[in-house]
């Protein structure tokens, strides 16, 4: 109940903030996809380019109650509370031999309630908390599974894993634990049939159920899109982002690709097609980026091994890489409650894990789940929301450390208490090793700044963006954001200067070109405006708004036939916009 109350308070605070309706990043990506589904556009006829489960879930909610993120937040608040309950149940099952299981359970549940990233990601339109609840619910089921001859239940488990994999695929990494539990629990039947036959049957049912659960995505890709994609075709670009010469273990976007969610997906297709010299299906786009990453790994194997070690270190490090910058924003607005972060939990969990595993064999299930989740991130990169699914397991070990330390101190077992305390000092040093890359430290300030521009907090936006610029003066996105800020405050000359700097750093930055084109339109500089919009369309050839603006520039220059051609494309892409129809009426008599 405490967990639910805390998360409801966070949700209510979030609903009153200027950021409640999704704007930008993955939240808007999922929300827009869900709204299209609710409107009846079930598919675009191509392979999914993003895991579809959460988008279809949003689509069903929006279809039933309208566009209402608050309803989704209520469901996710319930899942947040379920995780706290799961932690208590897991502790009682895994730490029973130590005699302090209940205290560990309460401590771990309290840690989850106070874990600031969990409060944040359970409130926003992201599937993160769904994975956490499913992941640790499955671990609890495995711990509780009793030996017996039944094999059919494993098909049901596989079906559930397959369904969740359409939302977040990393849950499939629990398969080794599931297969191990099959080996431990499947026994002879009453008719004396050999156990190994039943073990094979249980494993086969599990794997069959997993594929059946994910079948809606697979069948869509194979039958509707006619592309050989199991779940989503975006895995190739993620693999390349995590394994390229510029990779640093975090989602550092390689040169030539934009950092925004929508821009990244568009650029991954555009650049792949340009390099291939022909149009590509989404499956071919994924294969293109996968092949590039494989080539890099083979050619720089030693460097790649060091990159893997860096990813492991990033997984345990206290540095918060929040790629959608919700955590800092929520804290700035006073939405989340003060609490603990990943570094504190990881340090205590590492300090207590060795002692806990020796005294409590059942705790190996939690350790295995944490390590398998870490392994799931190694092929790509580490972010705060990606590693959140490991936090419940870490909280169990951190809680065991705290409870055991108190027990040793109360029992005057100074040697044991000193060992626990000394271990925490060492692990505290390990997780706090600094990340010296200045670009990493600019992220929170940059993301906070662009959100503050949208909400009209121009003074705070200027402070945050200028701080970000001092950390990363060569970032085109920070210069572009400062241009938007200058435009919002009416300083057109400064805006043009920032957009110009953006293009000098990144010549294909379509949004900077577009904004310069709009400024040129307002100045009646038709030639410059036309050139800017043509440059925008070279990067984003399906941008209906850019075609419309190009038509306006050509109308101003007296190129009426060309203006009609441009507008015809805009109308084909977006026939529903009234401003496009109004321009069509005006050009009809020209």
- Tell me the per-residue pLDDT of 381-416, one tens digit each, with 9 for 90 and over: 999 999 999 999 999 999 999 999 998 888 888 888
In a domain, 62, yes or no: yes
Determine the pLDDT at residue 21.
76
Determine the pLDDT at residue 296.
95
Determine the pLDDT at residue 427.
94
**Whether residues 406 and 520 fall in one domain:** no
In a domain, 238, yes or no: no
In a domain, 493, yes or no: yes
List, for residues 321-365, the tens digit of each pLDDT value. 888 888 888 888 889 898 999 999 999 999 999 888 888 888 899
Helices 175-185 and 152-165, axial angle in degrees (round to 10): 170
Determine the pLDDT at residue 491.
92
Determine the pLDDT at residue 221.
92
**Whether residues 85 and 65 fall in one domain:** yes
Determine the pLDDT at residue 532.
92
Distances (CA, A) of 576 to 44, 311, 570: 18, 46, 10
List, for residues 2-39, the tens digit of each pLDDT value. 899 999 999 999 999 888 877 767 788 888 889 999 98
Picking from 382, 413, 431, the residue at the C-terminal end of a domain is: 431
**Whether residues 76 and 181 fall in one domain:** yes
CATH, residue 496: 1.25.40.10
Determine the pLDDT at residue 510.
84
The residue behind tokens 């073990």 is: 199
Q: Which residues contact 185 (CB under 8 A, 6 or more apart)?
A: 145, 146, 147, 148
**Whether residues 383 and 451 fall in one domain:** no
**Whether residues 443 and 378 fall in one domain:** no
Determine the pLDDT at residue 537.
87
Domain range for 556 is 512-590
Determine the pLDDT at residue 365.
93
Helix spans in 260-338 (H) = 261-276, 282-299, 301-316, 326-332
**Whether residues 67 and 171 fall in one domain:** yes
**Whether residues 465 and 537 fall in one domain:** no
Distances (CA, A) of 286 to 227, 233, 394: 11, 5, 34
Determine the pLDDT at residue 154.
92
Residues of the chain with pLDDT below 50 are: none
Domain count across the chain: 3
**Whether residues 62 and 169 fall in one domain:** yes
In a domain, 120, yes or no: yes
**Whether residues 207 and 341 fall in one domain:** yes
**Whether residues 501 and 583 fall in one domain:** no
In three-state secondary structure terms, 244 is coil
Closest CA to 449 of 517, 492, 498: 498
Picking from 376, 409, 431, the residue at the C-terminal end of a domain is: 431
Closest CA to 155 of 111, 203, 122: 203
Picking from 451, 477, 508, the residue at the C-terminal end of a domain is: 508
Distances (CA, A) of 143 to 102, 131, 137, 180, 256: 16, 18, 10, 11, 47
Q: Angle CA(22)–CA(23)–CA(29) in degrees, nearest 5? A: 75
**Whether residues 34 and 113 fall in one domain:** yes
In a domain, 443, yes or no: yes
User: What would you report as the CA-atom Rg of the chain, rounded to the nearest whole angstrom?
Assistant: 26
CA 460/CA 449 separation, integer angstroms: 7
Determine the pLDDT at residue 190.
53
Q: 3-state secondary structure string, 195-233? A: HHHHHHHHHHHHHHHHHHHCHHHHHHHHHHCCCCCCCCC
**Whether residues 19 and 70 fall in one domain:** yes
In a domain, 326, yes or no: no
Q: Which residues contact 483 (CB under 8 A, 6 or more apart)?
A: 494, 495, 496, 497, 498, 499, 502, 512, 515
φ, ψ for residue 552 (rounded to 5)? -65, -45
Determine the pLDDT at residue 189.
56
In a domain, 253, yes or no: no
In a domain, 267, yes or no: no
């Amino acid at each position: 109940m405490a967990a639910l109350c805390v998360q409801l308070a966070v949700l209510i605070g979030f609903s009153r903030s200027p950021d409640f309706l999704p704007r930008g990043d993955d939240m808007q990506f999922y929300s827009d996809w869900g709204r299209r589904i609710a409107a009846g556009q079930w598919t675009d006829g191509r392979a999914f380019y993003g895991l579809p489960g959460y988008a279809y879930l949003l689509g069903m909610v929006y279809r039933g109650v309208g566009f209402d993120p608050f309803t989704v937040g209520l469901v996710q608040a319930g899942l947040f509370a379920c995780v706290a309950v799961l932690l208590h149940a897991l502790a009682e099952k895994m730490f029973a031999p130590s005699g302090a299981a209940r205290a560990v359970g309460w401590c771990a549940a309290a840690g989850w309630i106070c874990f600031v990233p969990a409060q944040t990601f359970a409130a926003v339109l992201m599937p993160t908390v769904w994975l956490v609840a499913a992941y640790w619910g499955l671990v609890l089921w495995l711990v509780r599974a009793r030996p017996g001859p039944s094999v059919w239940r494993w098909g049901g488990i596989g079906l559930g894993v397959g369904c969740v994999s359409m939302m977040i695929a990393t849950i499939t990494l629990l398969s080794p634990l599931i297969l191990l539990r099959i080996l431990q629990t499947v026994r002879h039947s009453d008719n004396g049939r050999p156990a190994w036959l039943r073990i094979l049957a249980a494993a086969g049912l599990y794997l069959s159920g997993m594929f059946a659960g994910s079948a809606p995505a697979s069948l869509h890709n194979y039958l509707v899109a006619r592309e050989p994609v199991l779940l989503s075709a975006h895995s190739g670009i993620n693999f390349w982002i995590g394994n390229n010469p510029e990779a640093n273990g975090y989602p550092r976007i390689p040169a030539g690709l934009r950092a925004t969610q929508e821009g990244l997906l568009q650029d991954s297709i555009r650049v792949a097609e340009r390099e291939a010299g022909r149009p590509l299906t989404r499956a071919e786009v994924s294969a293109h980026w996968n092949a590039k990453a494989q080539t890099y790994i083979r050619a720089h194997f030693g460097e790649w091994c060091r990159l893997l070690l860096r990813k492991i270190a990033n997984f345990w490090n206290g540095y918060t890489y929040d790629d959608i910058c919700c955590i800092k924003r929520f804290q700035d607005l006073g939405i989340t409650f003060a609490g603990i972060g990943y570094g504190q939990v990881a340090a205590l969990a590492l300090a207590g894990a060795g002692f806990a595993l020796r005294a409590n064999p059942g705790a190996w299930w939690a350790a295995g789940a944490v390590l398998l989740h870490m392994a799931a991130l190694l092929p790509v990169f580490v972010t705060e929301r990606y590693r959140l699914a490991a936090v419940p397991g870490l909280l169990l070990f951190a809680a065991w450390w705290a409870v055991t330390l108190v027990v040793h101190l109360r029992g005057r077992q100074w040697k044991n208490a000193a060992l626990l305390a000394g271990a925490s000092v060492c692990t505290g040093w390990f997780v706090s090793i600094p990340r010296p890359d200045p670009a990493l430290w600019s992220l929170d300030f940059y993301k906070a700044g662009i959100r503050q521009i949208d909400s009209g907090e121009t003074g705070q936006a200027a402070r945050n963006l200028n701080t970000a610029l001092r950390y990363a003066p060569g970032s085109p996105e920070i210069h572009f954001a400062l241009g938007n800020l200058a435009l919002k405050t009416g300083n057109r000359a400064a805006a043009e200067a920032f957009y110009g700097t953006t293009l000098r750093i990144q010549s294909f930055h379509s949004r900077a070109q577009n904004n310069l084109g709009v400024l040129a339109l307002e100045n009646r500089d038709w030639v410059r405006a036309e050139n800017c919009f043509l440059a925008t369309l070279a990067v984003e050839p399906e941008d209906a708004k850019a075609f419309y603006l190009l038509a306006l520039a050509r109308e101003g220059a007296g190129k009426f036939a060309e203006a009609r051609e441009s507008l015809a494309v805009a109308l084909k892409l977006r026939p529903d916009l009234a401003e496009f129809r109004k321009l069509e009426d005006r050009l009809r008599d020209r």
